[in-house]
Amino acid sequence: MKHLLLIALLGSALPALASDNFDAATFIATKCSGCHDERVYTRPDHRVQNRQQLEAQVRRCDANIGTTLFNEDVAKVVDYLDSHYYHFGQ
């Protein structure tokens, strides 16, 4: 029984550890560029008009490519895209 508890506790810590090494720039360069290039972020008629829509789009893309990002990693991707392309701010 003690072993099961230890395994459960260690297992619950793994998602936090997995997200610590996440680099949004690398993720975007390796995963997002498979479907589109950075012009999608800079074109004047882009569909994303605010941070909430940006997060929703990142989540849609995440689901479409099956990467199942942690919430913290989605936030890092949104922050990166916002600071480098969209400039919505917090």
Q: Which two tokens stand for residue 1?
A: 């029984």
Tokens 């689901």 label which residue? 63
pTM of the model: 0.77
Q: Which two tokens stand for residue 34?
A: 């498979």
Phi-psi region of 68 (alpha: psi -120 to 50; beta: other; left: phi over 0): left
Q: How many CB atoms lie within 10 A of CB 88?
A: 16
Tell me the CATH number for domain 22-86: 1.10.760
- Domain positions in the chain: 22-86
Tokens 């849609």 label which residue? 60
Question: pLDDT tens-digit profile of 34-73?
Answer: 888 888 988 888 889 999 999 999 999 999 999 999 999 9
